[in-house]
Structures are given as structure tokens and as C-alpha cells.
């Protein structure tokens, strides 16, 4: 069995995960947060199994199992999400929320083999999108659930960014675009986490994350994009803005 044939079931599972993610982004824009969380969650389950298969020494024996697991559930969910989106379109529902979620392009492959950097990048995006959906949901349990998601997105994003420039899968323009996306995710993940910890009165943790954010911004290459410059400036001064509250001295 050649690598292309062996990888076919895995590619099918990746395609379902990508479709779930992109539908989740559309649902989030439509402010259907619950359905978006459901689709992101299933996509993460699929990508977790895909990642495990890629590092498993018996990967070929596991391909059929990985492809079939969640597949029927995923297809049902995709169809349900499409129906929901169609209902919004037919009713001319206005967009209630301009989402910052990120869609996934088709995976890039070389000689039929799975490219680990591509999977790491996609997993980073999925974790970030799920964290963003939980944040938008707004209820305390969901806000708390977003913290580990942003943490995982940041850590995996750092790894994916480091390997992106070493990969020969993308052309130069793709490399820059992928690296820019990963850098944005890392900065936003730290930003949202710091805000949440500060809101929860965990000021020490918020301060620690803001220091990490400042360190990350300092390491980024220069940019001529005015909007990106403004974002970085905001992230840099955020540590000075989100200070631990102090009591006023007695009169």
C-alpha cells in the first residue's frame, strides 16, 4: 500500500474537520454560538485523533478507525449546520456579530503524505476558534472553559510558527500568510486570557500573561501595516492599563 492510498481515509477525516471549522465560523458570524461551539468541538475531536495517528508507529493500521470515528456524526452535524445557515439566509437575518474566527483552507500535501506543520497550524486555529466561541457565549462556565483553549492555542501556535519557516510545503507568500495568522492567534490568545484573568481578579496571572504578550510583541519582525502597528502598540501598553486595583489612601 503506497502512502497516498494509506493516507486517503485520513485525508477524508481532515476534510470533514475543515468543513466543520468553516461552518462554525459562519455560525459564529450569525451569532448562533451554541451551534458554532458544537461544530468546533467535533472538529477538534477529529483533529486530535488525526494528530495521534500521525505520531503513532502503527499509523497505517489505525487509518480506517480514525476515518470512521465521528464520521457519521460529523456528516450529520455538517448537514444540520448547513440547514441552519440556509434558514438565516432565507430569512435575510442581519449579521449580529463580526467574528474574528479563522477559516481553514484545504490542506497542503506532498507526495500523498500528511504534513505535520499543516496539521499543527489547523489544530491551533481550531483551538483558538473554540476559545473565541466560548468567550462570545459569555456565561461563567464557558468563559472558564475558554482559558485552557486559549492556552493550548498559544502553545501549539508557537510550535507551529517555529516549524512553519522550516517547512518546504508552502511557497514564500504562503509562509508569510501562515506565519502572520499564527502570530495573530498567539497574541490574541494571550490578550483574551489576560483580560479574563483580570476580570476574575487573578491579577498576578493576568500580569504574568501580559508580560509574556509584551515579550512576544518585542520578538515580532517590523511591519509597515498601520493596523498591525496599532494592534502591537495596544498589546504592548496593555500591561500598564490592566493594573491591580489599589485602595485610595485614607483622607
**Taking 50 as the threshold, does the pLDDT of residue 99 lie above it?**
yes
In whole angstroms, give the CA distance from residue 142 to residue 129. Answer: 13
Mean pLDDT of 209-229: 88
Q: What is the largest CA-CA distance in the chain?
A: 82
Mean pLDDT of 209-233: 87
Which is higher by pLDDT, 64 or 18? 18
Q: What is the pLDDT of residue 95?
A: 41
How many CB atoms neighbour CB 224 within 10 A?
Answer: 6
31: CB partners within 8 A, 6+ apart: 95, 96, 97
In whole angstroms, give the CA distance from residue 248 to residue 251. Answer: 9
Which is higher by pLDDT, 39 or 67? 39
Which of 4-13, 141-150, 189-198 is least confident? 4-13
Mean pLDDT of 87-93: 47
Mean pLDDT rounded to a whole number for the chain: 76
Residue 188 binned pLDDT confidence (cut-offs 50, 70, 90): very high
Alpha carbon 158 to its chain's center: 12
**Taking 90 as the threshold, does the pLDDT of residue 128 lie above it?**
yes
Q: What is the pLDDT of residue 197?
A: 93
pTM over 0.85: no
Mean pLDDT of 52-57: 63
In whole angstroms, give the CA distance from residue 206 to residue 204. Answer: 5
In whole angstroms, give the CA distance from residue 7 to residue 190. Answer: 35
How many CB atoms neighbour CB 46 within 10 A?
Answer: 26
Q: What is the pLDDT of residue 176?
A: 66
Mean pLDDT of 134-161: 92
Mean pLDDT of 158-179: 65
**Taking 80 as the threshold, does the pLDDT of residue 202 lie above it?**
yes
Which is higher by pLDDT, 166 or 105? 105
**Taking 90 as the threshold, does the pLDDT of residue 152 lie above it?**
yes
Which is higher by pLDDT, 98 or 7? 7
Amino acid at each position: 500500500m503506497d502512502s497516498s492510498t494509506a493516507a486517503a481515509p485520513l485525508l477524508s477525516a481532515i476534510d470533514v474537520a475543515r468543513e466543520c471549522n468553516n461552518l462554525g465560523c459562519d455560525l459564529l458570524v450569525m451569532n448562533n454560538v451554541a451551534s458554532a461551539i458544537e461544530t468546533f468541538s467535533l472538529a477538534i475531536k477529529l483533529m486530535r485523533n488525526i494528530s495521534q495517528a500521525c505520531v503513532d508507529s502503527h499509523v497505517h493500521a489505525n487509518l480506517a478507525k480514525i476515518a470512521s470515528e465521528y464520521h457519521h456524526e460529523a456528516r450529520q452535524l455538517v448537514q444540520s449546520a448547513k440547514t441552519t445557515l440556509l434558514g438565516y439566509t432565507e430569512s435575510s437575518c442581519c449579521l449580529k456579530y463580526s467574528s474574528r474566527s479563522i477559516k481553514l483552507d484545504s490542506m497542503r500535501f506532498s507526495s500523498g503524505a500528511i504534513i505535520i506543520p499543516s496539521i499543527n497550524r489547523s489544530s491551533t486555529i481550531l483551538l483558538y476558534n473554540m476559545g473565541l466561541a466560548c468567550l462570545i457565549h459569555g456565561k461563567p462556565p464557558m468563559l472558564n472553559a475558554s482559558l485552557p483553549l486559549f492556552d493550548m492555542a498559544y502553545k501549539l501556535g508557537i510550535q507551529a510558527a517555529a516549524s512553519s519557516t522550516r517547512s518546504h510545503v508552502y511557497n514564500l507568500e504562503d509562509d508569510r500568510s501562515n506565519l502572520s495568522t499564527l502570530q495573530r492567534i498567539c497574541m490574541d490568545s494571550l490578550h483574551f486570557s489576560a483580560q479574563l484573568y483580570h476580570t476574575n481578579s487573578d491579577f498576578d496571572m493576568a500580569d504574568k500573561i501580559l508580560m509574556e504578550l509584551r515579550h512576544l510583541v518585542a520578538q515580532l519582525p517590523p511591519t509597515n501595516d498601520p493596523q498591525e502597528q496599532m494592534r502591537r502598540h495596544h498589546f504592548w501598553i496593555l500591561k500598564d492599563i490592566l493594573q491591580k486595583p489599589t485602595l485610595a489612601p485614607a483622607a
